Chains A and B, each alone.
Chain A
Amino acid sequence: MWPKVWHFLSFGAPGVLIYVCFVLAPIVISFWYSLTNYNPFNPPISYVGWENYFLLFQDKEFLTALKVTSILTVIVVVVPNALGLGVALLLDRPGWLYNALRSVFFTPVILSSVVVSIIWSRLLDNEGPLNTFLRFLGVENPPGWLSDPDVALYSLASIVCWQMLGFCVVVYLAGLQGVPQELLEAAQIDGAGPVRRFRAVTWPLLAPSLTINTVVLLISAFKTYDYVKVITNGGPGAGATATIAFNVLATGFDANHVGYASAMAIVMLLIVAVVTAVVLKLLQRREVDL
């Protein structure tokens, strides 16, 4: 009933146009930059082919960033998912106490990552509340949570986990609401204990929640930037917490190696696209219809 061309031009085109201008075209431009030695302060631009990509995979700094990003992503995908499920099972009861606690867990989700970063960098400071508390407990040399290169990445990952936990809790709680009571009762009558009931009934039915949490955590962990910028600025030491997302902007804007930074960005895009597609496929295969 809608004339097709008119419908597209008046309803579809404005949104598509702005998406093309601000997302698709920049990706194409980025790819073009990545094949050049573009540096705004060092013209002229010349075409260098795949050289930036070859350099990238011999660049120790980039390989470190790849490792840092992978560790961070694995921790941030697994921990809030697991703890979130635990907390959701704990809070899956009616009553004011559980309602209030749900709000407590969700609050960090709506905080700005800058605010979260500042709070935690105070908390984890060498002379901050956490170490003061540890010394009070009798620990003589509490770790430098953010100043020790071996520990800083794990501290950073914990901070991201803290902020994302509430998201997982709410999604799992919603999933738990969708588990039919009759199924659980039927399983109980058949003699299944709480663990068996969880494994055989609840967990398979939570598959869509697991999918959502995993994909959201994956995408947001992979582009971790704000926490690194605010808390450690890539340090301590030689890029102990510098993620790829952080290095792309540091190389492109601070060091002005735009061509090289663009190659990094394109590699980053490919990794996130492939990993997300594979994970999504695998997880959706688990989902069952009731």
Chain B
Amino acid sequence: MRWVRPSVALVVGAIFFVPLYLVLVNVFKQGGKIASSPATLPVPPTLDNVVSVLTRPDQLFWVSLTNSIVVTVLSVIVLIVLSAMLGHYLARTRRTWTRVLTLVLLAGLMIPPQVILIPISDVLRIAGLMATLQGLVLFNVGYYVPFGVFVFTGFIRGVPVELEEAAVLDGASRSQVFWRIVFPLLRPATASVMIFLGVWIWNDFIDPLIILGPSQGTTITTGIYRSIGQYQADLGSVFALMALATLPVLIFYLALQKQFVKGLTGGATKG
């Protein structure tokens, strides 16, 4: 009976894999064949779809890719800096007021973006930041800072405060203590924050859709969304665009797979 578990696992996994299989085979299939025989293997395989996406005259893929990279990288860097510092403040100051502040920040973890997007678009318009990448980055930072703080605060509590006191006695300034001594010890927390926020912001759809608006450029996700209309007849290009859009995140995931799982595990065991 030792074959029962592996075979059941294999069958369940295969059924689950069907939608991903469809993307994989159709990226390399001639456009016409996708509608008539979507499930067959691409024989002979073709790179036409990928090439046509990469060489579109309006550069949709390259522009969207650049925007997504800029927004994701900037947001994640600012988020790591701000939430590590705020986390340090909350972890080291135990007062009623910091406890209240922590609760108010934690509440931010469950606020749906739809609740704030309407006023946000007015706020950004007044500030002249609507339909700009800076506006989107600022929004991301505000919206995701609770998650960063949540991860960092817990972690900083585990760093002995004596370490900081010793460094201060040796004459280090307070920001030196934090950036040179504490921050390097927070690497696992920084990795979690980077991984989760990186993937969320990269895949985010609703916020760039509303904040960047219809005219001012697209990120990868809104780019795909806008192209389904134009590509109605050309399914091959849609599949190729989706595969290319996913590639960076997939590479990122495969490279950091262990940290990914550790990030989730840390949360699961600590509760």
Contact = CB atoms under 8 A, between A and B. Distances in A.
Given A111-B246, A128-B38, A175-B268, A15 B145 contact: yes
A225 B205 CA distance: 9
Contact of B271 (A33, A211, A223): A211
Contact of B110 (A225, A230, A272): A272
A54 B206 CA distance: 28
Interface string A48-91: 00000000000000000000000000000000000000010011
A1 B174 CA distance: 10
A11 B86 contact: yes
Interface stretch (A2-10, A149-157, A189-197): A2-10
A149 B49 CA distance: 34
A184 interface: no
Given A8-B89, A110-B199, A129-B38, A119 B118 contact: no
Most buried by A among B13, B107, B109: B13
A104 B121 CA distance: 38
B197 interface: no
B12 interface: yes
A200 to B, nearest CB: 21
A90 B8 contact: yes
B233 to A, nearest CB: 14
A223 B113 contact: yes
Interface stretch (A24-32, A137-145, A234-242): A24-32
Interface in B169-222: 174-175, 178, 199, 202-203, 205-206, 209-210, 220-222
Nearest to A207: B271
Sorted nearest first, the 5 A-B pairs with minimum C-beta distance are: A22-B142, A15-B86, A223-B112, A12-B89, A29-B119
Interface of A: 1-2, 4, 6-8, 10-12, 14-16, 18-19, 21-27, 29-30, 33, 87, 90-91, 93, 97-98, 101, 103-108, 110-116, 118-120, 122-123, 128-129, 132-133, 162, 165, 167, 170-171, 174-175, 177-178, 208-209, 211-212, 219, 222-223, 225-226, 229-230, 244-245, 248-249, 252-253, 258, 261-262, 265-266, 268-269, 272-273, 276, 284, 287
15 contacts: A6-B174, A14-B82, A15-B145, A18-B142, A23-B142, A24-B104, A97-B10, A111-B246, A115-B224, A115-B246, A119-B23, A165-B16, A208-B270, A212-B271, A276-B110
